[in-house]
Amino acid sequence: MNDPARFIRANTALHEPPLIPEVRLHLASEIVPIWQMTEEELEKSGLPPPFWAFAWAGGQALARYILDNSEIVRGARVLDFGSGSGLIAIAAMKAGAASVLAADIDAFAAAAIALNAETNNVAVVATTEDLVGVENRGWDVILVGDMCYEGPLAARIEAWLRKLAGEGTTVLIGDPGRTYLPKSGLEKLVSYAVKTTRELEDTDVRNTSVWRVLPG
Ligand SMILES: C[S@@+](CC[C@H](N)C(=O)[O-])C[C@H]1O[C@@H](n2cnc3c(N)ncnc32)[C@H](O)[C@@H]1O
């Protein structure tokens, strides 16, 4: 990969996600063209979608909740797991978190997080390490936006998050009712109608909730 930041700047535009007007992100308007361009840039095919180029419904709901209930993250060390564009990480810093680690295994996401954090004048550290299963590294709060879209991934994440919740970490999930959202062991905190696009979600609005993960 030559210069992911250059690629992101060239192929996205700055937009506010509908539910989070206080944050501006480098976003794409359609998924197929930027997916194709990513594959051309990396000279690889069969890549996962460029998730980082969109503010997903689950991430928007969780970012809104954190901004409106800033006491949850104020002064806290936060992990934004599966960060994508970095939306939740940026919202957590704006809400007064002491620090945020934004984790995403996609190297383009790490570059997007850095660009978007800079655009919003907040400091966020990004990592591409796969943290699933690791011991708590000092996180008080773990935020997970829209990660229940794949069965095996969701199962690995659930077991890990439940263990961390059992140790006293606050773990919150934002999710628009994806297939692999756990069916039990969650407490619903709030729901929002999140504007989306038919191209991404096949509907104009997704009812999206924020859940607290209950200890296992
Ligand atoms: C649907 S996107 C959600 C992005 C963002 N949280 C939001 O709501 O807009 C899911 C993200 O999870 C990332 N991801 C998938 N597996 C991961 C893993 N094991 N560790 C960290 N990130 C992962 C993907 O690269 C993708 O950016």
Checking if the pLDDT of 216 tops 80, the result is: no
Least Cα distance to 145 among 99, 84, 201, 198 occurs for 84
Mean pLDDT for the stretch of residues 157-171: 97
Q: Decide if 172 contacts 189 (C-beta within 8 A).
A: yes
Checking if the pLDDT of 136 tops 90, the result is: yes
Checking if the pLDDT of 88 tops 80, the result is: yes
Checking if the pLDDT of 2 tops 80, the result is: no
pLDDT (tens digit, 9 = 90+) per residue, 48-69? 889 999 999 999 999 999 999 9
Take residue 201 and report the two structure tokens written for it.
């979600």
Take residue 191 and report the two structure tokens written for it.
């729901």
Residue of higher predicted confidence among 198 and 123: 123
Give the pLDDT confidence score for residue 46 in this predicted structure: 85
Give the pLDDT confidence score for residue 205 in this predicted structure: 96
Mutate to test the pocket of ligand 1, among 34, 66, 106, 161 (most ligand atoms within 8 A of CB): 106
Least Cα distance to 19 among 74, 48, 59 occurs for 59
Question: Which residue in the block uniquely carries the two structure tokens 């361009």?
Answer: 37
Going from the Cα of 58 to the center of ligand 1, the distance in angstroms, rounded, reads 11
Checking if the pLDDT of 184 tops 70, the result is: yes
Going from the Cα of 180 to the center of ligand 1, the distance in angstroms, rounded, reads 14
Smallest CA separation from ligand 1 atom 15, residue: 82
Burial of 42 from C-beta contacts in 10 A (0-12 / 13-18 / 19+): middle
Give the pLDDT confidence score for residue 84 in this predicted structure: 98
Name the least confident of 34-48, 97-111, 188-202.
34-48
Mean pLDDT for the stretch of residues 187-205: 94
Q: What is the DSSP letter of 70?
A: G
Give the pLDDT confidence score for residue 76 in this predicted structure: 98
Going from the Cα of 84 to the center of ligand 1, the distance in angstroms, rounded, reads 5
Angle made by CA atoms 25, 130, 109, in degrees to the nearest 5:
20
Q: Decide if 7 contacts 33 (C-beta within 8 A).
A: no
The pocket around ligand 1, CB under 6 angstroms, is made up of 51-52, 55-56, 58-59, 82-85, 87-88, 103-106, 109, 130, 132, 145-147, 149, 153
Q: Decide if 31 contacts 14 (C-beta within 8 A).
A: no
Confidence band for 43, pLDDT divided at 50, 70 and 90: confident
Q: What is the pTM of this model?
A: 0.97
Domains assigned to the chain: 56-213 (3.40.50.150)
Write the CA distances from 4 to 80, 82, 112, 139, 171, integer angstroms: 21, 18, 8, 28, 31
Burial 43-79 (b: 16+ CB within 10 A, else e): eeeeeeebbbbbbbbbbbbbbbbbbeeeebbeebbbb
Give 204's strand partners.
Answer: none
Confidence band for 1, pLDDT divided at 50, 70 and 90: low
Confidence band for 30, pLDDT divided at 50, 70 and 90: confident
Mean pLDDT across the chain = 95
Mean pLDDT for the stretch of residues 152-159: 95
* Strand 205-213, strand 77-81: pairing: unpaired
Checking if the pLDDT of 196 tops 70, the result is: yes
Least Cα distance to 75 among 145, 170, 3, 172 occurs for 170
Smallest CA separation from ligand 1 atom 14, residue: 82
